[in-house]
Amino acid sequence: MTQATSPLPRQRKSGVGSLLGAAGNHYVLVACSAVAFIVLWQIVSMNVPPVILPSPASVAVAFVQLTASGELVRATLQTLWPFAIGLSVAFIVGTSLGLVLGIFAPAAKLFDPYIFVFWSIPNIAWLPLFIAWFGVGNLTLVVFVFVSAVFPQLLTVEAGAKEADSFLVEVARSLGGSKREILHIVVLPSALPYIFAGLRIAVGRALVGIIVGQLLIVATGIGYMFQFYGETLSLAKYFAPLIVIAALAVLLNRAVNWAENFFIPWKTRAFV
Amino acid sequence: MPELEFVNIRKGYRSPTGDDLLAISDFSLKVDGGRFVTVVGPSGCGKTTLLRMAAGLIAPGAGEVRLDGVPLATPSPKMSMVFQAIGLMPWKTVESNVALGIQLQSHRQKLTPDELGRVQATIALVGLKGFERYYPSQLSGGMQQRVGLARALVRQPEILLMDEPFGALDAQTRAVLQDELLNLWGRIKSTVLFITHDLDEAIYLSDMVVIMGRRPGRIKEVLEVKLPRPRYSYDARAEPEFARLRNIAWQSIKEEL
């Protein structure tokens, strides 16, 4: 056969240049909006009592104080580790169970109703039960984070494994693929994007789970800081853990994006 | 030379209203080894169903498909199929997609150095040298179908089944790929069973054109195409013989529309 037109250059200069330009503009825009936000915050806070809205400056001072005293760092760690354990276990269990249920229809028939019922129950309703079972402590937090995160992970991955394109399955079959090979070549790769979609939701749910658990029950970590400084109306100090949680949420989201780009190159490297 | 034979094939299906309908009735066809045979017919005549039977993807209701006299039940490693919708794995590069043709044939993940060489050579053969590490989404439709062709050819098939492989491509790309297919086939000399609804394509490519009617799907007419090869070396489509065959085929197929 004749050679097709020469390979497209990996990176088109003009494309990359304009992309960088766009990214640059993006950062400028973000910085502008942040400045505008803080200015607006400052203006509003000067017109209301500090007990309603503390000024940005007083929040910054409180943030530095709480960091220097070690309280914020300690609280962050107390929040992070039950969060990380609960989320990790939920990710592993949710992903593997989701794959199994998505691939083996009889298993799905058997378990789907239970999963649906458990998932429909508002998470918070479990908390008193978990305290009765696991006591007021980190075990309850881990279990609560797990329950918050496992269902979105499981259901998304299960849906993804069922999504496998039946035409691609037929193509693999026509080439002689066995059931196992088809699983490996078609079903698992098509479920991969769903694993990350599930993780994105699970991270959010797990974050809600750990804060709610610490705020309502276990009285440790960032969640407890919210409760304590909220009740004592020390709003400047209340905002410090809020910043930590916001930063954590953004970082985790970025991490999932990065993992997605790394593991799903066929989606992200497309440029035609 | 391997030959493919359809023997008294019937296939029915149940309509939404619950009636039993006959999709294909008493279809018998012998595709002699090394020949390029094309089946044309209006949509709904069951030609794709027949090809999927030949590929071992579905079983006939009655009758059998024989490969070298042996009834065929499952996909055979001696065959390759090329699909209109191509069906490349989006998560695999061009190279890995082509390699898949061998991996699913030998049921080994790891390719031997010899097989790796074959993958490279086949990619070059279809004109995609330099695109080995591209993903399908980075290629045009015509280039994707070249990959589909390479995935089929790398298996060194005795029989090549092609289901309207150029149907989704624009007219220019289609004409180019038709010539390239003829050129390739001139070298590999496998048996080809090709499906299309394009009469010109059928006559231009084939040694024999089988015209099907529908309701139920059956053979209406068989035309031998004796235009000399290679047909891309002259303007075969302008030959009086081409026009004559085209006219016969068109008259025959018109009654089915």
How many other β-carbons are positioned within 10 Å of the β-carbon of residue B145? 26
State whether residue A9 sits within 8 Å of chain B by CB: no
Show which residues on chain B lie within 8 Å of chain A, measured between beta carbons. 55-57, 75-77, 80-81, 83, 85, 87, 89-92, 100-101, 103-105, 107, 125-131, 134-140, 142-143, 146, 151, 155, 176, 180, 183-184
DSSP β-bridge partners for residue B69: none
Greatest extent of chain B over all pairs of C-alpha atoms, in Å? 56
> A268: pLDDT confidence band, cut at 50, 70 and 90?
low
Distances (CA, A) of B116 to B96, B124, B154: 10, 13, 10
**Contact between chains at A270 and B135 (C-beta distance less than 8 A):** yes
pLDDT tens for the 257 residues of chain B, in order: 788 999 999 988 877 787 777 888 889 999 999 999 999 988 888 888 899 999 999 999 889 999 988 999 899 999 999 999 999 999 999 999 999 999 999 999 999 999 999 999 999 999 999 999 999 999 999 999 999 999 999 999 999 999 999 988 899 999 999 999 999 998 888 999 999 989 999 999 999 999 998 878 889 999 999 999 889 889 999 999 999 999 999 999 888 87
The yes-or-no verdict on residue A8 having pLDDT over 70 is: no
Q: Which pair of structure tokens corresponds to residue B137?
A: 């989404």
Cβ contact B66:B33 at 8 Å: no
CB pairs under 8 A between A and B: 91
Q: Which pair of structure tokens corresponds to residue A52?
A: 């309603």
Residues of B whose CB is below 8 A from A6: 130
State whether residue A175 sits within 8 Å of chain B by CB: yes
What would the pLDDT profile of A204-222 be if each residue is shown by its tens digit?
999 999 999 999 988 899 9
- CB within 8 A of A209, min separation 6: which ones? A83, A86, A123, A144, A145, A147, A148, A149
**Contact between chains at B89 and A176 (C-beta distance less than 8 A):** no
Facing B57 at nearest CB: one of A170, A181, A189: A170
DSSP assignment of A52-85 equals TS--HHHHHHHHHHHHHTTHHHHHHHHHHHHHHH
What would the pLDDT profile of A56-115 be if each residue is shown by its tens digit?
999 999 999 999 999 999 999 999 999 999 999 999 999 999 999 999 989 999 999 999
- pLDDT, residue A20, reads 54
Task: Please tell me the distance from the alpha carbon of residue A161 to that of residue A198, in angstroms, as a whole number.
Answer: 12
**Contact between chains at A269 and B135 (C-beta distance less than 8 A):** yes
Q: What is the mean pLDDT of chain A?
A: 88
- pLDDT, residue A2, reads 56
Cβ contact A224:A212 at 8 Å: no
- Where is B114: in which H helix or E strand? helix B113-125
**Contact between chains at B89 and A185 (C-beta distance less than 8 A):** yes
Average of pLDDT values for A261-268?
83
Q: What's the pTM value of the predicted model, to 2 decimals?
A: 0.80
The yes-or-no verdict on residue A158 having pLDDT over 90 is: yes
Task: Please tell me the distance from the alpha carbon of residue B192 to that of residue B51, in angstroms, as a whole number.
Answer: 11
| Sheet architecture: strand order including B79-83 | B79-83, B159-163, B191-196, B36-40, B208-213, B218-224
Cα of A265 vs its chain's centroid, Å: 20
Cβ contact B41:B72 at 8 Å: no
Residues of A whose CB is below 8 A from B136: 266
What would the pLDDT profile of A229-257 be if each residue is shown by its tens digit?
999 988 999 999 999 999 999 999 999 99
- pLDDT, residue A4, reads 56
Q: Which pair of structure tokens corresponds to residue B226?
A: 């004796």
- pLDDT, residue A13, reads 43
Residues of B whose CB is below 8 A from A7: 130-131, 134
Task: Give the gyration radius of chain B's Cα atoms.
Answer: 18
- pLDDT, residue B36, reads 96
Distances (CA, A) of B199 to A6, A229, B14, B27, B254: 33, 81, 31, 20, 12
Residues of B whose CB is below 8 A from A164: none
The yes-or-no verdict on residue A7 having pLDDT over 80 is: no
**Contact between chains at A264 and B81 (C-beta distance less than 8 A):** no
**Contact between chains at B127 and A271 (C-beta distance less than 8 A):** no
State whether residue A266 sits within 8 Å of chain B by CB: yes
The yes-or-no verdict on residue A19 having pLDDT over 70 is: no
Please list the alpha-helical segments (H only) found in chain A: 13-46, 56-68, 71-103, 105-120, 127-134, 138-162, 166-174, 179-182, 188-213, 221-231, 235-263, 265-268
Cα of B143 vs its chain's centroid, Å: 17
Residues of A whose CB is below 8 A from B107: 176, 178, 181
**Contact between chains at A4 and B90 (C-beta distance less than 8 A):** no
**A201 Cα to chain B: minimum distance (Å):** 24
- pLDDT, residue A3, reads 58
User: Strands B159-163, B70-71: parallel, antiparallel or unpaired by DSSP?
Assistant: unpaired
DSSP assignment of A30-57 equals HHHHHHHHHHHHHHHHHTS-TTTS--HH
**B254 Cα to chain A: minimum distance (Å):** 32
Cα of A101 vs its chain's centroid, Å: 23
Q: Using the CB atoms, write b or e for B115-131: b if 16+ within 10 Å.
A: beebbeebbebbbbebb
Residues of A whose CB is below 8 A from B129: 3
Task: Please tell me the distance from the alpha carbon of residue B139 to that of residue B94, in angstroms, as a whole number.
Answer: 9
The yes-or-no verdict on residue A269 having pLDDT over 60 is: no
State which residue of chain B sits closest to A8, comparing Cα positions: B131
- pLDDT, residue B28, reads 93
- pLDDT, residue A15, reads 45
* Percentage of chain A modeled with pLDDT above 70: 90
